[in-house]
Structure 1
Amino acid sequence: MSQPLKRLLIDVPEDLEAQIESLAVQTGRSRSLIVNDAIDTYVNNQLRWLSDMDAATRDVKQGQSFDGDEVLDWLESWGGGGEKPRPGPAKP
C-alpha cells in the first residue's frame, strides 16, 4: 500500500539534475522515483548509523568494549583458513 505523497521543493546543482535525468532516461524510471529512492536510502542509512553509534556509546558507558587492534587482527584472519578466535571484551 502506497503512502500519501507530499511535494517537497529542493534545489540541486545542474550537473546532479543532468545525472538524474540521464538515469531516468536510461532506466525508464521517473526522476521523482529516482530521487525518492535516493533520499530513502540515504535517510535510512543515516538513521541506522546514528542508532548503531548510540548503541555503541551505551556499550562503552557500561564497560562493554573491545580492543581495536585485536578486532582488526581477527578480521584480517578471515577467509584464509586460519581464522583467529573472536576477541573477548577488553579488560578495564
Structure 2
Amino acid sequence: MASNTVSFDMPDPMKRQLDQLSRMTKRDASTLAREALADYLQRQDEQASAIDEALRSADDGQFISHDAMSEWLESWGSAEEKSPPKIDVIKARR
C-alpha cells in the first residue's frame, strides 16, 4: 500500500500525551497516531452512513413515533432497558 507523509500542528499537551502513550506501549508515536486517525475516520464514515440512511427513511415517510422513542429513552439505565424502537409511522409522500 502506498503511503504519504502528512504534517500538521499538534498542541503541546496532545504531543506529550502521545509521547507518553508511545513510551508506555513501546510503540512508535507515528503508528499510534495513524491508528487513531484510522479509527476516527471509520467512526465518522459510519456516522455519516447512518445519517444518510435516516434521511432516506424520512424522505420515504418512515419515522419512529415520539411515544415509542420516549418509552425507549426512559428505559435507559433500568433493569428493563428496551431495545431501540422500530419504524412505526409511515406517511405517504406528497
Q: Residue 34 of structure 2 aligns with which residue? A: 36
Higher relative contact order (CA 8 A, sep 6+): 2
* TM-score calculated relative to the size of structure 1: 0.80
Residue 65 of structure 2: which of 61, 64, 67 is its match?
Answer: 67
Residue 27 of structure 1: which of 25, 28, 42 is its match?
Answer: 25
Q: Residue 90 of structure 1 aligns with which residue? A: 89
Residue 58 of structure 1: which of 56, 59, 69 is its match?
Answer: 56
Greater strand fraction, Structure 1 or Structure 2: 2
- The residue type paired with residue 43 of structure 1 is L
Report the Cα distance in structure 2 between the residues aligned to 1:43 and 1:82, rounded to whole angstroms.
Answer: 31
**Aligned residue pairs, count:** 89
Q: Percent identical across equivalent pairs?
A: 21
Q: What is the DSSP-based 3-state SS (H/G/I as helix, E as strand, rest coil) of the residue aligned with 2:47?
A: helix
Q: CA deviation at 1:70?
A: 1.2
* TM-score calculated relative to the size of structure 2: 0.78
